[in-house]
Amino acid sequence: MRIAVVGGGLLGALLAWRLATVPQGRARPRIDLWTGSPRRRDRDATSSSGGMFRAFETSPRDSALAALSLAELRSDAALRDWAAFREVGSVVVRPPGADADASLRAVEAVLPGQAELVDLAGISRMFPFHGLPRGSYAVVERRAGHVSPDRLRDEVLARLPVAAVNRLACDVARVDATPSVCPVGGTPIGYEVVVLATGPWTPALLARSGLDGTEYRTKQIEYTRFTGWPDGLGVFVDETSGLYGRPTGRGTGILGVPTERWDVRPSAAVADQDGVERLLDTVRTRLPGTGASLLQPAAVGTRCVAAVDCYHDTPGVTLRAIPSGEGLFTFTGGSGGAVKTALAATREATRLLLGEAPRPSPGRLPVPAPGSWRA
């Protein structure tokens, strides 16, 4: 089988690697990996990603995939090294009444004992958060942390078997549903399967190709580097205020709050002073004592990182069939959280592409099977 994977971000690189390293005895496809020009790569989601990595997610499907991914990472020393995994712990603070049962069950099925529920009094004992609403609770995972998605991508790309993967560092102008790939300045090349792992460039590529991309949108994500990181605080999300962050080194860390900047082109992502002021307000309320005063307006350009990810109406990374084509799929839509699920999602996609499980139809997400990371 000839497969084209378009996009050399974390998802495209891992998918090509999975396809090229299926165990002996199973059909091995020939893969063309279209990585795009280096100019794009510097603006992709993977190179700016915060790399927060835990099992609990608000969607049960993503929790299953994230738990499977964490299980694989923990069981594989080489992967941990490639990804520069740091086990600093994780806490997700949830608003009063938010349901976590189905997600916790999905995590427990893969990693028993991974997640612990902590009430507001417990949060106050364990973490430096202030002003949380009464009735808030937390999902705490001691065995979670962060990775470097950029490093993992590079290590995987460097290990792609040359006999199975042909790397093409040029931009794809458009695709069609036959399916084929047409590089910039070239003529269409036909494949049995084409997968668009083009992250935030996906809506534009679909539009250029005359295909329906209305379910896909881009959104800006940003964070800022801080000093004065509180002792004992690992990776965190405070859903009651939107604040998230992780430590980066001795006494330093990154912090952010969600933006509402939709439909931003990847090359146009930029942090502005309004966003920084909003972040500083939230930091002063939730983490007073963190070195917010060190962040001066003049430093916005150097201390802030802004990039764009691909969001989907039904969030989550999976193979999505393009309705007008037999073998044309997208593989994106992680909606700001795909690093956690990438290892298991690429394993799942490999099984589907090689015909070991029924391929998805539009609008239906496959349910990940616990234990499938051992395949």
Ligand X SMILES: Cc1cc2nc3c(=O)[nH]c(=O)nc-3n(C[C@H](O)[C@H](O)[C@H](O)COP(=O)(O)OP(=O)(O)OC[C@H]3O[C@@H](n4cnc5c(N)ncnc54)[C@H](O)[C@@H]3O)c2cc1C
> Rule CB under 6 A: which residues touch ligand X?
6-12, 34, 36, 40-41, 44-46, 48-52, 149, 171-172, 197-201, 205, 221, 305, 307, 309, 332, 334, 336-340
Q: Are 151 and 84 in contact (CB under 8 A)?
A: yes
Q: How far apart are CA 137 and CA 80, in angstroms?
A: 30
Buried b (16+ CB within 10 A) or exposed e, 1-28: eebbbbbbbbbbbbbbbbbbebeeeeeb
CB of 168 to ligand X, least distance (A): 8
Q: Which residue is nearest to ligand X (CB)?
A: 9
CB of 222 to ligand X, least distance (A): 6
CB of 44 to ligand X, least distance (A): 3
CB of 79 to ligand X, least distance (A): 15
Q: Which is nearer to ligand X, 35 or 240 (CB)?
A: 35
Q: Which is nearer to ligand X, 172 or 280 (CB)?
A: 172
Q: Which is nearer to ligand X, 67 or 305 (CB)?
A: 305
Q: What angle do CA 150, 268, 342 make, to 5 degrees?
A: 30
Q: Which is nearer to ligand X, 119 or 313 (CB)?
A: 313
CB of 169 to ligand X, least distance (A): 9
Q: How far apart are CA 229 and CA 254, in angstroms?
A: 9
Q: How far apart are CA 257 and CA 292, in angstroms?
A: 14
Q: How far apart are CA 269 and CA 48, in angstroms?
A: 11
ω into residue 179 within 30 of 0, thus cis? Answer: yes
Q: How far apart are CA 135 and CA 145, in angstroms?
A: 26
Helix (H, G, I), strand (E, B) or coil at 264: coil
Q: Which is nearer to ligand X, 124 or 299 (CB)?
A: 299
Q: How far apart are CA 170 and CA 161, in angstroms?
A: 20
Q: Which is nearer to ligand X, 103 or 332 (CB)?
A: 332
Q: How far apart are CA 72 and CA 94, in angstroms?
A: 27
CB of 232 to ligand X, least distance (A): 20
Q: Which is nearer to ligand X, 120 or 248 (CB)?
A: 248
CB of 46 to ligand X, least distance (A): 3
